Amino acid sequence: VLSYGRLVARAVLGGLSQTDSRDYSLVTASCGFGKDFRKGILKKGMCYGDDACFVARHRSADVLGKCWRGPAFSGTLMRTCERLVKEGRFVPSNPVGILTAGYCELLQNKVPLLGSSTACIVVLDRTSHRLHTANLGDSGFLVVRGGEVVHRSDEQQHYFNTPFQLSIAPPEAEGVVLSDSPDAADSTSFDVQLGDIILTATDGLFDNMPDYMILQELKKLKNSNYESIQQTARSIAEQAHELAYDPTYMSPFAQFACDNGLNVRGGKPDDITVLLSIVAEYTD
């Protein structure tokens, strides 16, 4: 009995000792291109072309957001979500709530901000080490561990090249323009580990680079220093931008088009936004 008791005590204490009590955070760098900008990076605030994104830190969580389609609509939506996070008006386990609150503020503007946008919100809860996500449309994210994709978002399309999206339409177009609810976003929760890589991007990346190309670029990451992450994010964005204008390249978008009965070849010129993050130990 004594021997059995010792074994049980060791197992319990061993399990407790393996629990990671450290807080986690994301070290994040961004890079991107507007589709009409051929020779270099064009960035206005946190916008690349019609894409918009934000990176916000709060004592309880790190939050990433991005959306596309219409700089005024998408940019205002992301700035509103960023402000809500910085003010602490969110629950880390409910990224849909951030998106809903931001969208509702746009709907309540005295002067309607017309436009539409896909959206993706990624939240790392520092204490629980869980990644909570909400993805509406065809932007998305990958979680890479040990050189392999261990988790990814699901793309949401009504039909080919028509993603789910938030929108505010003029009165004459109401009921005609597609408009999805934030609640329609695909929501997931996932445990992360120190050193995990999180790549969050708009469809301009995923339409032009398959996973294996992205993973090849991520192998160039030397460490979790911001400079290394920034360099890799830039390398990924540049490669996607170059492939987007290659008329002979069989891009993921072209393959998807062929699967839908269309004779398409080449890259897809589009705005490209890349947010590249590494899970690290939190330092205030």
Q: What is the mean pLDDT of residues 25-37?
A: 90
Question: In which residue are the tokens 């400079």 written?
Answer: 227
pLDDT digits (tens, 9 = 90+) for 91-145: 999 999 999 999 999 999 877 788 999 999 999 999 999 999 999 999 999 999 9
pLDDT digits (tens, 9 = 90+) for 201-239: 999 999 999 999 999 999 989 889 999 999 999 999 999
Is 265 within a domain?
no
Is 200 within a domain?
yes
Range of the domain at 50: 24-245+271-281
Q: Does pTM surpass 0.85?
A: yes
Looking at the structure of the chain, the number of domains it has is 1
Query: Tell me, what's the pLDDT at 43?
Result: 54
- Ranges of beta strands (E only) in the chain are 24-33, 47-48, 51-58, 61-68, 115-125, 130-136, 140-145, 148-152, 157-159, 162-163, 166-168, 186-191, 197-201, 272-281
pLDDT digits (tens, 9 = 90+) for 41-89: 545 557 888 899 999 999 999 999 999 876 689 999 999 999 999 999 9
CATH number of the domain bearing residue 81: 3.60.40.10
- Minimal CA–CA distance to 65: which of 11, 101, 41? 101
